[in-house]
Amino acid sequence: MSRKDRYRILLTVKDYVNFKALANLLEMLTGDIEIVFLHIIEFPLSTSLYPEMISTHIEQTRNKLQNLLDWARTQRINADLRITASRDVVEAIMSEAEKIDADMIVLQKSLKKIKRKIRRLVSQTNLERVVDLSKRIVVLLPAD
C-alpha cells in the first residue's frame, strides 16, 4: 500500500470497537486521517422505513455510540458518526463508501465466529460480500 497524505476510513461498528486493534492500524498510516464510523440499523424487508419510525432508533444509537467520537478527539483524529437504516447491510456499506469516497473500509470480525463460518461454507456472510464487491482496501480488525 502506498503512503498517502490523507486517509478517509469507513469503519463499520455494531456495539463494540476494538480500540487497541484500531490504534495499531492507525499507527501504520501516516498523514491526516479521517474516520467515518458507520452503524447500520438493519430492518427486515417487511418493515417500512419511514423517517418518523426510525428516527428514535437512530437517536438512541447516536447517544450510545458517542464514545467513538470522544475517543477519536482524544487521539486528535477527525471523525464523524453516521447512522443509517437499511434492509441490506452490504449495500449500505458500499453506498456509504461511495458517498464519502473512502480509501479503506474497516470491518470487525469476532474470532469466536470463525467456527460458525466453517458451518456456513455455502452461504456468504455480509463481511464476505463486502470484500467481494468492494474496489477499496478492506481491513478486518478482531472484534474481541
Tell me whether residue 1 is in a domain: no
pTM confidence score: 0.74
Tell me whether residue 71 is in a domain: yes
Tell me whether residue 100 is in a domain: yes
Least confident among 3-12, 103-112, 115-124: 115-124
CATH of the domain at 77: 3.40.50.620
Pick 111 or 2 by higher pLDDT. 111
Are 130 and 138 in contact, with CB atoms under 8 Å apart?
yes
Residue pointed to by grid coordinates 452503524: 39
C-alpha grid cell for residue 58? 437512530
Residue range 40-53, pLDDT digits in tens? 988 877 777 677 77
Residue 13: CB atoms within 10 Å: 19
